[in-house]
Amino acid sequence: MKWSWSLTARRREEEKLAERCKRISDRPEPLPAVRERTLTLPLPPSNTGLVRNSRQQRTCDQQQSAYFTTLPREIRYLIYQEVLASPDHPELHVSSADQRLLSRRCVNENPDIPGLEHPCWGRCYKQDGTTARSGYPREYQPEDRSPYPVRLGLLRSCRQVYSESIDLLYSQNILSFRQTRTIVDLQRTIAPQRLHSIRSVNLYFLLQLYWFGTRIDATEGIYPLDIPFFWESAWKTIAEMKSLQSLRVEFTDGRLDNEYPHRDAMVHLLKPMAAVKVQKYIVQFDWSVAVDELVRLLGNEVPFEIQVKEKPVEPYYFW
């Protein structure tokens, strides 16, 4: 019996170690088609008896709360804005982790630092580019450590507060992503009306891929692995954002060789992006690109402005 218990304990420790060292993150569960509880007001009609095991939902009118009876809605809006979407730091980094999405308020103050290199993304990643737990005990960096945290606890306080403030989280922040997978998972895990309320998006992509003619590919060990699998789906999701007004895409050159991507491969990469129509749409490269030729291959009419901001050449030191 003692030997059996020891073997079981050892297996449990091995399973824990394997989980800690797992190189990839599982995707989050999609939002159910029908929720057990409605989060926003007004509540749906009472149970008609057509659906079994459904409970009648109730909510309080909060007339006993001085917060609602004393403060006008305009003042409450300013409170929600300060907590969920500070105008001074509007960018919100959204990243993938194991079975979940994480958000971090951007604290970068230097406009010369590429978006992909903002320290507020974190420093601990898995092989697939998703955020990993760090420290001991292993955990995701708490939002409280940020000087400008997003206090999501406000949304959990009551249904009335949630209904008044939830739209601010999506409409007043600049949501930034560094993986196409994260964009697809966001669409799967939030209600459609939240996706449609997003107004500003920044995308930061490190292109460390292999180019085979007109086909984009990646192999194990080349970061990131998600672009060949989620690229087109991500741009279909972006095209569904009905309120989107500003879209910025930054491509960072992360190739392991000195050959630039073939023009046909670049056209293949940019074609799904050309289907998105946004009022302010900028695509930036950090290496030299033949802009006129690229536009011609895309059909002469592209919905975005192409900018080239070459990164400075690192100096060589001779001893």
Quick: pLDDT tens for 225-259. 577 788 999 999 999 999 999 999 999 887 666 66
**What is the pLDDT, as a whole number, of residue 99?**
85
Q: Domain-by-domain residue ranges, the chain? A: 61-308
Q: Is the pLDDT of residue 186 over 90?
A: yes
Quick: pLDDT tens for 286-298. 888 888 988 998 8
Q: Does 233 or 207 have the greater pLDDT score? A: 233
Question: In which band, very low, low, confident or very high, does the pLDDT at 43 lie, cut at 50, 70 and 90?
Answer: low
Residue 8 neighbours by CB distance under 10 Å: 10
State the Cα–Cα distance between residues 274 and 299, nearest whole angstrom.
Answer: 10
Question: In which band, very low, low, confident or very high, does the pLDDT at 184 lie, cut at 50, 70 and 90?
Answer: very high
pTM comes to: 0.80
Cα separation values, 146 from 115, 135, 136, 294, Å: 17, 16, 19, 41
**What is the pLDDT, as a whole number, of residue 317?**
37
Q: Does 49 or 306 have the greater pLDDT score? A: 306
| Average model confidence (pLDDT) across the chain | 78
**What is the pLDDT, as a whole number, of residue 157?**
83
Q: Highest mean pLDDT range out of 157-161, 202-206, 236-240, 308-312?
A: 236-240
Residue 111 neighbours by CB distance under 10 Å: 6
**What is the pLDDT, as a whole number, of residue 130?**
80
Selection from 146, 205, 214 nearest residue 177 by Cα? 205
State the Cα–Cα distance between residues 295 and 53, nearest whole angstrom.
Answer: 57
Question: In which band, very low, low, confident or very high, does the pLDDT at 299 lie, cut at 50, 70 and 90?
Answer: confident
**Is the separation of the CB atoms in 181 and 96 below 8 Å?**
yes
Question: What are the residues whose beta carbons fall under 8 Å from the beta carbon of 235, sequence distance 6 or more?
Answer: 272, 273, 275, 276
**What is the pLDDT, as a whole number, of residue 51?**
44
State the Cα–Cα distance between residues 122 and 132, nearest whole angstrom.
Answer: 9
Task: Tokens 């009118």: give the residue.
Answer: 61
Q: Is the pLDDT of residue 136 over 60?
A: no
Give me the count of residues in the chain. Answer: 319
Q: Highest mean pLDDT range out of 57-71, 171-185, 199-213, 216-230?
A: 171-185
Task: Please report, rounded to a whole number, the percentage of residues in the chain having pLDDT higher than 70.
Answer: 67
Quick: pLDDT tens for 263-285. 777 888 899 999 999 999 999 99
Selection from 200, 187, 193 nearest residue 166 by Cα? 193
State the Cα–Cα distance between residues 216 and 265, nearest whole angstrom.
Answer: 7
**What is the pLDDT, as a whole number, of residue 5?**
54
The upper half-sphere exposure of residue 137, i.e. CA atoms within 13 Å in the direction of its Cβ, equals 1
Q: Which of 25-29, 208-212, 278-282 has the lowest mean pLDDT?
A: 208-212
